[in-house]
Structure 1
Amino acid sequence: MKRYSALLLAAGGSTRLGRPKQLLTVNGVPLVRHIAELLLATGPERLVVVTGGAAARISQALAGLDIVLVQNDNWETGMASSLQCGYRALGADPAPLLIAGTDQPRLTCDHLRALLKQGEQHRDVVAVYGEEGRGIPVLLSPATQPHLADLQGDTGLRQLWKNGATTPAFFHAPELGFDIDTPEQLDAAIRAGWIDQD
């Protein structure tokens, strides 16, 4: 892909987990930094990271990276405000947008590169985990991005395609269906070696 930007959603409060998932570590590296480094390794023109809860500690974990940090003061309202905050920070940039989050410890550079390759036809691309599961990482075409303004609360990206105006391409990655939202999921990730033991 010739040019694109990237957006990392790192604003969540991790209330079910009881601690900031962004600061869990992978081989000694905070998860938020690990994912940011994966995104940067794909070569985006810019990487915007949206913070909210635990913003100071997350910013510290990202120190020294070539990123644009944006604080979402309304992060507690849900994902929609973080998407909109990140999109505004990018300005009117007519380039595809690669979006990732901070709770998929199995995400790799290969996943992101395959997603970008699939998006070369100027289509949206969505990761599919199984029959019902789909979500981030996603690649949004320039035509779809303005519709981020229509999202509200904790409405996910799939709402963008519900009206059927456009149909995204699908990138199948069942392993990305594992995310970390609860202590039980964290324990499973530690047992599997995807997240460091405290």
Structure 2
Amino acid sequence: MSAAPHGLVLLAAGASRRLGRPKQLVVVDGETLVRRAAHGGLATAPLDAVIVLGHAAGDIGAAVADLPLRAVVADDWREGMGASLACGVAMLDERCDGVLVLLCDQPALDAAHCIALVDTWRARRTAAAASAYAGVLGVPAVLPRAWLAEPGALAGDHGARELLRSAARHVVAVDAPALARDVDRVGDLPVDP
């Protein structure tokens, strides 16, 4: 394989307490948010792809059961995104040099942006490629696998965003202003025309 191999970790374990129902299963344009995120990530042709489940694992896993994702349930998902990300990274094929990290709460996420992140990371593999929106660098992002192996890099709720902040000079921004809109509360839900 000439291009640096990367893996996909789709974080879908959260309980969506503020929304009151699993945001992963919210339907936008006829598709659940978890499927939208999965399709975007899979369009990058990852060497390996893992979905991390926790709350409502059966229902959320069933929504993507026909896609080429390996499902893993994070026993410690309640501790936060860092714990879920650590679980997903541990399950990835060890040949993955980079990790595309996706969430399920960004309705505007598309395959083109995921591909742009992977291409940006491949051009400078010791750096991360992160989405830039609302004045921050965040996920989706491609992180060098070596960053995730550092002791204490991922624990509890210390996830990808914290890693990006702590290593900002080693992060290449990929503009994605539409990703600033996410789904956390009922008022955030998209309204179908």
Specify if TM > 0.5: yes
CA distance in 1, matches of 2:29, 2:178: 19
1:128-165 deviations in Å (ceiling 9; x for gaps): 1032x331100011321213743332223232245549
More strand by share: 2
- Contact 1:148/1:160 (8 A) holds in 2: no
The residue that corresponds to 1:89 in the other structure is 91
Letter paired with 1:128 = A
Q: Does residue 151 of the first structure (1) align with residue 161 of the second (2)?
A: no
The residue that corresponds to 1:170 in the other structure is 173
Map 1:66-77 onto structure 2 (within 5 A). Answer: 66-77=68-79
Work out the number of aligned pairs and report it.
189
Secondary structure of 2:191's aligned partner: helix
Residue ranges of structure 1 left out of the alignment (5+ in a row): 194-198
Map 1:131-150 onto structure 2 (within 5 A). Answer: 131=135, 133-147=136-150, 149-150=152-153
Say if 1:134 and 1:86 are closer, same or farther in 2 by CA, change over 3 A. same
1:81-120 deviations in Å (ceiling 9; x for gaps): 1000001111533421111100000001111111111112
| Length-normalised TM-score, structure 2 | 0.90
Give the aligned CA root-mean-square deviation in angstroms: 1.9
Map 1:1-198 onto structure 2 (within 5 A). Answer: 1-120=3-122, 121-122=124-125, 123-131=127-135, 133-147=136-150, 149-164=152-167, 167-186=170-189, 189-190=190-191
Residue ranges of structure 2 left out of the alignment (5+ in a row): none
Q: Percent identity?
A: 37
Say if 1:90 and 1:148 are closer, same or farther in 2 by CA, change over 3 A. farther
- Contact 2:132/2:138 (8 A) holds in 1: yes
